[in-house]
Amino acid sequence: MLAYILRRLFIAIGTVWVISVVSFAIIQLPPGDYVTSYIAQLMATGTLVTQEEAENLRAQYGLNQSVYVQYAKWMWLVLQGNFGVSMEWKRPVTEVIGDRLVLTALLAFTAVIFTWILAIPIGIYSAVRQYSLGDYVVTCLGFIGLAVPNFLLALVIMYLAFAYFGASVGGLFSTEYIDAPWSWARVQDLLKHLWIPAIILSTAGTAQLIRILRANLLDELRKPYVVTARAKGLSELRAILKYPVRVALNPFISTIGYTLPFLVSGSIIVSIVLSLPTVGPLLLKALLAQDMFLAGTIVLLLGVMTVIGTLISDILLVWIDPRIRLEE
C-alpha cells in the first residue's frame, strides 16, 4: 500500500513538473518578452524608453539569461508564492485569481457530486430493467450526452431559458451579491446558481459512467452468487445492492482520476459561455491580451489543483478497494 501511494506521489510530482514546463512555455512562446510589452505600454502613454533602460529592465528581470536559468528563477519565485504581476490588471496575479480559483474548484467538485448522484441510480435501474423502455430512453440520452460538447449544451440551455422564460442563466451570483463580501446569504445565492452549470458540466461524465456501471452490473447480475442470494430468499433490493452493485462500483471509483481533469477542462469553456466568475473567462481574456504571467499561472494552478484532486481520489481508492492494497 505504501509502495502504491509512493508511486502515485511520484506520478503527481512528475505531472506537476510537466505542467510547470508547459506553463513556462506558454509564458515564453509569444514573440517578445515581458519588457517588450511593458515598453510598448509605456510608449503608448507617451513615455520614451532608451535602449539602455530597456537593457537594465531585462537584466533586472533576468530576461537576458538562458531559458533554463529563467525557468529556474520563475519556479523559485512560484514556490515562494510570487506569480508575477498581471499586465492587464496591474495587480499581483494572486490577487486577480484568488476567489475565482476557489469557485472553479467548487464548480468541479459539485459536478463530480452530481455525476455520482445521477449516474449510480440511473445505471442500476438501467441494468436491472435491461431492455425496458426506461433503459432505452436512458441509453439514448446517454449517447446524446456523450456526443454533445458541454459548451454547446450550455449554449442551447441559455438560448431556451432566454427565449422561453426570458431568464438569464449566466453567472454564479444574483446582481446584488456579485461584489458583496462573503456572507451566509451570498453562499445561499451561490448554491441557487451553481446547480445549472454543474449539471451541464456533468452530462458527459454521467453518460459515460452510466454505460460503465450498466455493463459491469449486467456482468455481475448473471453470476451464480446472485442466483444463490435470490434462492435463499433475500429481498430483490438487498440481493442487488448488497454485493453486485458494490462490485460494479469499483471501476467507477477508479475512473475518478480521469474524470477530474476532464471536468476542469470542461469547466473552462462552460464558464466562458455562461460567463461564470471562475478562472475560465479570465484565462481566455489573458490569452487574447497576451497577459502571459496571468495565463501561465492559471494553467499551472489548474493543473496542480487537478493533480491534488486526483491524488486524493487515488488514495481513497486504496482505502476502498482491498485488491490494490494486496497487489503490491
Partner 1 sequence: MAEGAVLHGVETPEQPETTTAAGERIYVASQWQLMWWRFRKHHLAMAAGIIVVAFYFVALFADFLATTDPELSDAKRSLMPPQAIHWFDGWSFAPHVYGVKGARDPKTFKRVYQVDPTQKIPVHFFARGFPYKLLGVIPMDWHILGVGAGHDVSQTLFILGTDVQGRDLWSRLLYATRISVSIGLVGVALSLFLGVLLGGLSGLYSGWVDTLIQRIIEIFRSIPTIPLWMGLAAALPRDWSILQVYFAITLIISLLGWTELARVVRGRFLALREEDFVVAARLAGCGQMRIIFVHMVPSFMSHIIAATTLALPAMIISETSLSFLGLGLRPPAVSWGVLLQQAQNVQTVALSPWLMIPAIPVIIAVLAFNFLGDGLRDAADPYGH
State yes or no: residue 146 binds partner 1 (CB under 8 A). yes
Count of residues of this chain found to bind partner 1 when the rule CB under 8 A is applied? 55
Query: Measured from the CB atom, is 234 or 308 closer to partner 1?
Result: 308
State the maximum Cα–Cα separation within the chain, in Å, rounded to a whole number: 90
Angle between helices 93-128 and 244-254 (to 10 degrees): 150
User: How many other CB atoms are found less than 10 A from the CB of residue 172?
Assistant: 23
| CA gap 123, 245 in Å, rounded | 10
State yes or no: residue 302 binds partner 1 (CB under 8 A). yes
State yes or no: residue 212 binds partner 1 (CB under 8 A). no
User: CB-based contacts of 87: which residues, under 8 Å, 6+ apart?
Assistant: 34, 37, 38, 41, 289, 291, 293, 294
Our measurement of the distance from residue 149's CA atom to the centroid of its chain's CA atoms, rounded to an integer in Å, reads 15
Query: Measured from the CB atom, is 112 or 299 closer to partner 1?
Result: 299
3-class SS of residue 91: strand
What is the contact mask toward partner 1 in residues 239 to 258, using x (rule: CB under 8 A)?
------------------xx
State yes or no: residue 197 binds partner 1 (CB under 8 A). no
Angle between helices 292-320 and 2-28 (to 10 degrees): 170
Nearest-5° Cα angle at 286, 282 to 289: 140
> Minimum distance from CB of 152 to partner 1 (Å)?
5
Please pick, from the candidates 20, 23, 208, 216, the single residue that binds partner 1 as defined by CB under 8 A. 23
- Name residue, grid cell 508564492: 81
Length of the chain: 328
State yes or no: residue 26 binds partner 1 (CB under 8 A). yes
Q: Which stretch binds partner 1 (CB under 8 A): 26-34, 67-75, 178-186, 230-238?
A: 26-34
* Residue of 289, 112, 315, 100 whose CA lies nearest to 205: 112
| Residue pair 75/23 in contact by the 8 Å Cβ criterion | no
Please pick, from the candidates 5, 22, 42, 221, the single residue that binds partner 1 as defined by CB under 8 A. 22
Phi-psi region of 166 (alpha: psi -120 to 50; beta: other; left: phi over 0): left
State yes or no: residue 210 binds partner 1 (CB under 8 A). no
| Residue pair 239/226 in contact by the 8 Å Cβ criterion | yes
State yes or no: residue 187 binds partner 1 (CB under 8 A). no
State yes or no: residue 29 binds partner 1 (CB under 8 A). yes
Query: What residues from 262 to 301 belong to the interface with partner 1 (CB under 8 A)?
Result: 262, 264-266, 268-269, 272-273, 283-284, 287-288, 290, 295-296, 298-299
Identify the helix (H) or strand (E) that includes residue 1. Answer: none
State yes or no: residue 105 binds partner 1 (CB under 8 A). no
Please pick, from the candidates 6, 9, 18, 191, the single residue that binds partner 1 as defined by CB under 8 A. 18
User: How many other CB atoms are found less than 10 A from the CB of residue 21?
Assistant: 12
State yes or no: residue 162 binds partner 1 (CB under 8 A). yes
Q: Which stretch binds partner 1 (CB under 8 A): 63-71, 90-98, 151-159, 315-323?
A: 151-159
Please pick, from the candidates 143, 182, 225, 319, the single residue that binds partner 1 as defined by CB under 8 A. 143
Identify the helix (H) or strand (E) that includes residue 285. Answer: helix 279-288
Please pick, from the candidates 69, 152, 178, 185, the single residue that binds partner 1 as defined by CB under 8 A. 152
> Interface with partner 1 by CB under 8 A: which residues?
10-12, 14-15, 18-19, 22-23, 25-26, 29-31, 143-144, 146-149, 151-152, 155-156, 158-159, 162-163, 168, 170, 257-258, 261-262, 264-266, 268-269, 272-273, 283-284, 287-288, 290, 295-296, 298-299, 302-303, 306-307, 310
